[in-house]
Amino acid sequence: MHIVQVGMEYDVLKENNKIANSNYRLLKENGIKTIEFMGSIGSGKTTLIIKLAERMRKKGLEVCAIAGDVTGDDDQRRMRESGLEAVNCNTGHECHLDANLVRKSLKDIDLDRCDAILIENVGNLVCPADFPLGADYRVVVISTTEGDDMVRKHHDIFLHSDVAILNKVDIADAVGVDPSVIVEDYRRLTGGLKTMYMCSARAEEGIDEIMSVLRL
Protein backbone atom coordinates (compact mmCIF):
# COMPACT_ATOMS: atom_id res chain seq x y z
CA MET A 1 0.00 0.00 0.00
CA HIS A 2 1.42 3.33 -1.01
CA ILE A 3 -0.89 5.97 0.43
CA VAL A 4 1.26 8.58 2.11
CA GLN A 5 -0.10 9.72 5.46
CA VAL A 6 1.74 12.83 6.49
CA GLY A 7 1.90 15.32 9.34
CA MET A 8 5.36 14.62 10.73
CA GLU A 9 8.76 13.96 9.21
CA TYR A 10 9.16 10.21 9.13
CA ASP A 11 11.60 7.95 7.39
CA VAL A 12 9.99 4.55 7.09
CA LEU A 13 13.21 2.82 6.13
CA LYS A 14 15.23 4.24 9.02
CA GLU A 15 12.51 3.26 11.47
CA ASN A 16 12.42 -0.24 9.97
CA ASN A 17 16.19 -0.57 10.32
CA LYS A 18 15.98 0.41 13.99
CA ILE A 19 13.41 -2.30 14.71
CA ALA A 20 15.38 -4.79 12.60
CA ASN A 21 18.48 -4.12 14.73
CA SER A 22 16.41 -4.61 17.86
CA ASN A 23 15.01 -7.89 16.45
CA TYR A 24 18.55 -9.05 15.68
CA ARG A 25 19.69 -8.33 19.24
CA LEU A 26 16.64 -10.09 20.74
CA LEU A 27 17.26 -13.16 18.59
CA LYS A 28 20.99 -13.24 19.42
CA GLU A 29 20.28 -12.89 23.16
CA ASN A 30 18.15 -16.00 22.82
CA GLY A 31 20.81 -17.84 20.80
CA ILE A 32 18.53 -18.10 17.78
CA LYS A 33 19.79 -18.31 14.22
CA THR A 34 17.42 -16.58 11.80
CA ILE A 35 17.26 -16.77 8.04
CA GLU A 36 14.98 -14.75 5.80
CA PHE A 37 13.88 -16.07 2.40
CA MET A 38 12.86 -13.56 -0.25
CA GLY A 39 11.77 -14.24 -3.80
CA SER A 40 8.92 -14.09 -6.23
CA ILE A 41 5.67 -15.98 -6.08
CA GLY A 42 6.22 -19.62 -6.98
CA SER A 43 10.00 -19.49 -6.66
CA GLY A 44 9.73 -22.34 -4.18
CA LYS A 45 10.51 -20.61 -0.89
CA THR A 46 8.00 -22.65 1.13
CA THR A 47 9.20 -26.00 -0.21
CA LEU A 48 12.84 -25.06 0.36
CA ILE A 49 12.10 -23.96 3.93
CA ILE A 50 10.26 -27.23 4.60
CA LYS A 51 13.17 -29.29 3.25
CA LEU A 52 15.77 -27.33 5.24
CA ALA A 53 13.67 -27.58 8.41
CA GLU A 54 13.36 -31.37 8.01
CA ARG A 55 17.15 -31.66 7.90
CA MET A 56 17.55 -29.25 10.83
CA ARG A 57 15.10 -31.23 12.97
CA LYS A 58 17.05 -34.39 12.18
CA LYS A 59 20.10 -32.64 13.64
CA GLY A 60 18.09 -32.08 16.82
CA LEU A 61 17.41 -28.39 16.27
CA GLU A 62 14.13 -26.78 17.33
CA VAL A 63 12.97 -24.85 14.27
CA CYS A 64 10.07 -22.45 13.78
CA ALA A 65 8.94 -20.58 10.69
CA ILE A 66 7.21 -17.26 10.09
CA ALA A 67 5.01 -17.52 7.00
CA GLY A 68 4.59 -14.07 5.43
CA ASP A 69 1.82 -13.43 2.93
CA VAL A 70 -0.55 -10.65 1.95
CA THR A 71 -3.59 -12.75 2.83
CA GLY A 72 -4.37 -16.38 3.60
CA ASP A 73 -2.58 -19.13 5.49
CA ASP A 74 -1.63 -21.50 2.66
CA ASP A 75 2.08 -21.49 3.44
CA GLN A 76 1.58 -21.84 7.17
CA ARG A 77 -0.68 -24.84 6.59
CA ARG A 78 1.84 -26.46 4.25
CA MET A 79 4.59 -25.95 6.80
CA ARG A 80 2.53 -27.37 9.64
CA GLU A 81 1.52 -30.38 7.56
CA SER A 82 5.23 -31.11 7.11
CA GLY A 83 5.75 -30.99 10.87
CA LEU A 84 7.26 -27.50 10.94
CA GLU A 85 5.86 -25.21 13.61
CA ALA A 86 4.84 -21.96 11.88
CA VAL A 87 3.37 -18.57 12.74
CA ASN A 88 1.23 -16.89 10.08
CA CYS A 89 2.08 -13.26 9.33
CA ASN A 90 -0.36 -11.49 6.99
CA THR A 91 0.50 -8.01 5.79
CA GLY A 92 -3.14 -7.35 4.78
CA HIS A 93 -2.17 -5.24 1.80
CA GLU A 94 1.56 -4.59 1.96
CA CYS A 95 3.86 -6.22 -0.57
CA HIS A 96 6.61 -7.15 1.90
CA LEU A 97 7.20 -7.98 5.55
CA ASP A 98 8.74 -5.33 7.76
CA ALA A 99 10.69 -5.54 10.98
CA ASN A 100 7.69 -4.52 13.07
CA LEU A 101 5.49 -7.31 11.69
CA VAL A 102 8.26 -9.78 12.44
CA ARG A 103 8.61 -8.34 15.94
CA LYS A 104 4.91 -9.06 16.53
CA SER A 105 5.26 -12.60 15.17
CA LEU A 106 8.19 -13.26 17.50
CA LYS A 107 5.76 -12.82 20.42
CA ASP A 108 4.00 -15.98 19.26
CA ILE A 109 7.21 -18.01 19.30
CA ASP A 110 8.72 -19.55 22.43
CA LEU A 111 12.17 -18.02 22.04
CA ASP A 112 13.54 -19.98 25.01
CA ARG A 113 13.21 -23.34 23.32
CA CYS A 114 13.77 -22.25 19.71
CA ASP A 115 17.15 -22.74 18.00
CA ALA A 116 16.37 -21.34 14.57
CA ILE A 117 13.70 -19.30 12.79
CA LEU A 118 13.10 -19.41 9.05
CA ILE A 119 11.19 -16.38 7.79
CA GLU A 120 9.37 -16.52 4.46
CA ASN A 121 8.77 -13.06 3.05
CA VAL A 122 5.82 -12.15 0.80
CA GLY A 123 6.24 -13.42 -2.78
CA ASN A 124 7.83 -10.39 -4.42
CA LEU A 125 11.24 -9.84 -5.98
CA VAL A 126 11.25 -6.05 -5.61
CA CYS A 127 9.88 -4.57 -2.42
CA PRO A 128 11.33 -6.80 0.35
CA ALA A 129 14.88 -5.70 -0.57
CA ASP A 130 14.55 -2.38 1.29
CA PHE A 131 13.25 -3.86 4.53
CA PRO A 132 15.73 -5.92 6.55
CA LEU A 133 13.97 -7.86 9.30
CA GLY A 134 16.85 -8.63 11.65
CA ALA A 135 17.91 -12.04 10.32
CA ASP A 136 21.46 -13.42 10.21
CA TYR A 137 21.19 -14.14 6.53
CA ARG A 138 18.96 -12.76 3.79
CA VAL A 139 18.49 -15.36 1.07
CA VAL A 140 16.93 -14.68 -2.33
CA VAL A 141 15.31 -17.65 -4.10
CA ILE A 142 14.54 -17.50 -7.81
CA SER A 143 13.27 -20.22 -10.10
CA THR A 144 14.16 -21.26 -13.64
CA THR A 145 10.44 -20.86 -14.47
CA GLU A 146 10.86 -17.09 -14.10
CA GLY A 147 13.04 -16.78 -17.20
CA ASP A 148 16.75 -16.05 -17.54
CA ASP A 149 16.59 -12.29 -17.00
CA MET A 150 15.86 -12.08 -13.27
CA VAL A 151 19.28 -10.79 -12.24
CA ARG A 152 19.43 -8.21 -15.03
CA LYS A 153 15.97 -6.89 -14.09
CA HIS A 154 16.27 -6.88 -10.32
CA HIS A 155 19.72 -5.78 -9.17
CA ASP A 156 18.53 -4.51 -5.80
CA ILE A 157 17.34 -7.72 -4.24
CA PHE A 158 20.45 -9.60 -5.31
CA LEU A 159 22.69 -6.88 -3.92
CA HIS A 160 20.69 -6.72 -0.66
CA SER A 161 20.87 -10.46 -0.03
CA ASP A 162 23.69 -12.60 1.36
CA VAL A 163 22.94 -15.79 -0.54
CA ALA A 164 21.24 -16.35 -3.90
CA ILE A 165 19.60 -19.64 -4.85
CA LEU A 166 18.34 -20.78 -8.24
CA ASN A 167 15.54 -23.33 -7.68
CA LYS A 168 13.75 -25.76 -10.02
CA VAL A 169 16.87 -26.50 -12.06
CA ASP A 170 15.34 -29.93 -12.79
CA ILE A 171 12.71 -28.33 -15.06
CA ALA A 172 15.00 -25.74 -16.68
CA ASP A 173 14.87 -27.59 -20.02
CA ALA A 174 11.07 -27.88 -19.90
CA VAL A 175 10.71 -24.12 -19.51
CA GLY A 176 13.46 -23.35 -22.05
CA VAL A 177 15.85 -21.61 -19.65
CA ASP A 178 19.63 -21.99 -19.46
CA PRO A 179 20.64 -21.75 -15.77
CA SER A 180 24.22 -20.81 -16.69
CA VAL A 181 23.00 -17.44 -18.06
CA ILE A 182 21.45 -16.56 -14.69
CA VAL A 183 24.45 -17.76 -12.73
CA GLU A 184 26.83 -15.76 -14.94
CA ASP A 185 24.67 -12.58 -14.61
CA TYR A 186 24.84 -12.96 -10.82
CA ARG A 187 28.60 -13.54 -10.87
CA ARG A 188 29.02 -10.39 -12.95
CA LEU A 189 26.64 -8.31 -10.77
CA THR A 190 28.61 -9.26 -7.66
CA GLY A 191 31.95 -8.38 -9.24
CA GLY A 192 32.90 -12.03 -9.73
CA LEU A 193 32.84 -12.51 -5.96
CA LYS A 194 29.70 -14.56 -5.41
CA THR A 195 28.24 -17.83 -6.60
CA MET A 196 24.56 -18.59 -7.09
CA TYR A 197 23.65 -21.98 -5.63
CA MET A 198 21.45 -24.28 -7.68
CA CYS A 199 18.85 -26.68 -6.35
CA SER A 200 15.55 -28.39 -6.89
CA ALA A 201 13.75 -28.23 -3.56
CA ARG A 202 10.96 -30.51 -4.77
CA ALA A 203 13.40 -33.13 -6.12
CA GLU A 204 15.65 -32.66 -3.05
CA GLU A 205 18.70 -31.83 -5.14
CA GLY A 206 21.30 -29.38 -3.82
CA ILE A 207 19.67 -28.95 -0.39
CA ASP A 208 22.68 -30.25 1.54
CA GLU A 209 24.95 -27.68 -0.09
CA ILE A 210 22.53 -24.91 0.94
CA MET A 211 22.51 -26.28 4.52
CA SER A 212 26.28 -25.95 4.48
CA VAL A 213 26.32 -22.45 2.92
CA LEU A 214 23.84 -21.22 5.55
CA ARG A 215 25.81 -23.03 8.29
CA LEU A 216 22.75 -24.91 9.44
Least separation in angstroms between residue 129's CB and its own copies is 9
Q: Which is nearer to its own copies, 27 or 157 (CB)?
A: 157
What distance in Å separates the CA atoms of residue 112 and residue 122, rounded to the nearest whole number? 27
Residue 76 near its own copies by CB under 8 A: no
- 29, 58, 60, 71: which one binds its own copies (CB under 8 A): 71
Q: Which residues lie below 8 Å from residue 109, measured CB to CB, with a gap of 6+?
A: 64, 66, 87, 117
Quote the least distance from Cβ 187 to its own copies, whole Å. 17
* Beta carbons of 115 and 61 less than 8 angstroms apart: yes
- In eight-state DSSP terms, residue 170 is G
Among 122, 120, 112, residue whose Cα is nearest residue 41: 122
Near its own copies in 136-195, by CB under 8 A: 143, 145-147, 149-150, 152-156, 168, 171, 174-176
Alpha helix segments (H runs only) across 73-137: 74-81, 99-106
List C-alpha distances in Å: 68 to 61, 76, 101, 137, 139. Answer: 22, 9, 9, 17, 15
Q: Binder to its own copies among 57, 181, 202, 211 (CB under 8 A)?
A: 202
Q: Which span sits near its own copies by CB under 8 A: 72-80, 104-112, 158-166, 206-214?
A: 72-80
Give the nearer residue to its own copies in terms of CB position, either 33 or 154. 154
Distances (CA, A) of 209 to 87, 97, 176, 189, 212: 27, 27, 25, 22, 5
Figure out which of the listed residues 42, 59, 203, 208 binds its own copies, where binding follows CB under 8 A. Answer: 42
CB of 33 to its own copies, least distance (A): 27
**How many chain residues bind its own copies (CB under 8 A)?**
48
Among 21, 72, 110, 188, binds its own copies (CB under 8 A): 72
Across 79-209, where does the E strand assignment appear?
85-90, 116-120, 137-143, 163-167, 197-198
Which positions lie near its own copies, rule CB under 8 A? 1-4, 6-13, 40-42, 69-72, 74-75, 93, 95, 122-127, 130-131, 143, 145-147, 149-150, 152-156, 168, 171, 174-176, 202
